[in-house]
Structure 1
Amino acid sequence: MNGTRSSVAVVEEVRRGLTPALTERIDLLICPPSTLIASCVAASYGSNIAIGGQNLHAKPSGAFTGSISAEMLADLGATYVIVGHSERRAYHHETDDGVHAKALAARRAGLCGIICVGETKDEREEGRTLDIVRAQLGIGVPKGATGADTVIAYEPVWAIGTGLTPTPSDIAEVHASLREMLERLVGPEAARIRILYGGSVKPANARELMAVENVDGALVGGASLVAEDFLGIAAAYA
């Protein structure tokens, strides 16, 4: 919940900062508040920057005052939507079943759903990390998910906005487990589904984190509010 109309300038700055190496090698996605989606779509038009939503309602329409549907997001020009972010789970009590329904809604409207999974500090200290993320994945991912309509994001809740990050070996373990779980759920298509890492990703650690096996990109939080930092993370792939 950051940004007003003046924040569209950040998207414009990111666009100006794109180099041929970045344009050719990576996909860039910005998920602003819903109030800014249309403006950001216009600001990114003609570039390789995609625009997505931060959340959605599972129903296409109805008496759900204040909510936004997948169809509404698509109508604004969004092509992605984040589903089940840890803050939605924590502060709005979203369940794995609810995340599943939202992922199906994203597919219904032709959006790619970014399904978030992750453990809390207590769950990690109890040694339950893999059990937690595999359970979230097992329920959240719709049957028949493909690389075109599904992305997975591992975001250890205790690392978000704290400056703390798991070790590369910790991340590798979780991502390998998620990949194996995806293979059980969708078979060979699992190889095409990207698994992102999110949790205090910044320019200083991006290259090390993005080099971890089965890490196919970053879900960037606070650093995305500053164009220079966002581009610095993207440069890990250049």
Structure 2
Amino acid sequence: MHARKPLVVGNWKMNGLKASASEFGRMVEGYGAGLRHRVQLVVCPPVTLLSTFAVIALGSRVGIGAQDCHPGTHGAHTGDISAEMIADTGAAFVIVGHSERRIAHRESDADARGKVKAVHHAGLIAILCVGETAEERKAGLALQVIDGQLEGSLPEGLTGDDLVVAYEPVWAIGTGVTPSLSDIAEMHAHIRLRLVERFGEEGGRIHILYGGSVKPSNASDILAISDVNGALVGGASLKAADFLGIASAYV
């Protein structure tokens, strides 16, 4: 049984300017004792806001994360940012292998694997995203696709202290369409099985998050599913009321 507090992560994607600090401040203010004892909150803003948000979050136990990193530690990589640089801002998490990176930037499982290694090397926690497209699900290949992504994207030696896996069906991200509860349960049980096969006892400690059109109205049902240890939230994480509403499903 998963013994850790559930994890609710907000992925702001390419949204947010300096003025957004006030909205994040409302999230921090709303993260009272009732929530802190039951759920861990993490917000992943654009890299331009990492340091600002880290300062606002000091003492609140709200975690800060980045949305991507380069697999290298430094060098001639114009426009990129290393996991060490992310750590230097005060952030503790990095999203890796999100479908929007895999599709728009043609990132492979090998690319994701290199980034997970970099995140681990920097002492941060990797949030590895996996998920199938609508075409792959219709063809009955969903489980095989996830198996391939897990096998190809995860290096050896990871533990529940440095890895989180987020299942995001690509066809549900930002569409308002959510898989059935039984579909989510089947996939999360399958991912748990694969993690235990790969990492032994540690595989049982790794958080598995669900992502894909999570909102306050459906959070309670989704987050009550076995082996759903939290959520990776997109658009609904931009507003304090919505994000805290999702986290409040654990109260």
TM-score by length of 1: 0.99
Query: Which is helix-richer, 1 or 2?
Result: 1
CA distance in 1, matches of 2:42, 2:154: 21
Q: How does 1:52-131 map to 2 (within 5 A)?
A: 52-131=65-144
TM-score of the two chains, using structure 2 as the length reference: 0.94
SS for the counterpart of 1:223 is helix
Runs (4+) off by over 6 Å: none
What amino acid is the match of 1:53? A
The Cα of 1:19 is off from its aligned counterpart by 2.6
Q: Percent identity?
A: 52
- Aligned partners of 1:9 and 1:141: how far apart in 2? 36
Identify the residue that residue 6 of structure 2 maps to in structure 1: none
Matches within 5 A, 1:152-191: 152-191=165-204
Q: What secondary structure sits across from 2:233 in the alignment?
A: coil
Gaps of 5+ in 2: 1-13
Tell me what 1:51 maps to: 64
Of the two structures, which has the highest relative contact order with CA contacts closer than 8 Å and spacing of 6 or more?
2
Q: Tell me if 1:14 matches 2:22.
A: no
Name the structure 1 match of 2:216. Answer: 203
3-state DSSP class of the match of 1:215?
coil
- Where structure 1 has 5 or more consecutive residues not aligned to the other structure, the ranges are none
Distance in 2, matches of 1:201 and 1:151, equals: 18
Higher-strand-fraction structure: 2
Q: Residue 214 in 1 paired to residue 214 in 2?
A: no
Separation (CA, whole Å) in 2 of partners of 1:55 and 1:224 = 17
Aligned partner of 2:19: which letter?
Answer: S
Residue identity matched to 1:105: A
CA distance in 1, matches of 2:23, 2:120: 29
1:83-132 per-residue CA deviation (whole Å, 9 max, x = no partner) reads: 00010001000000110000000000000000000000101111111000
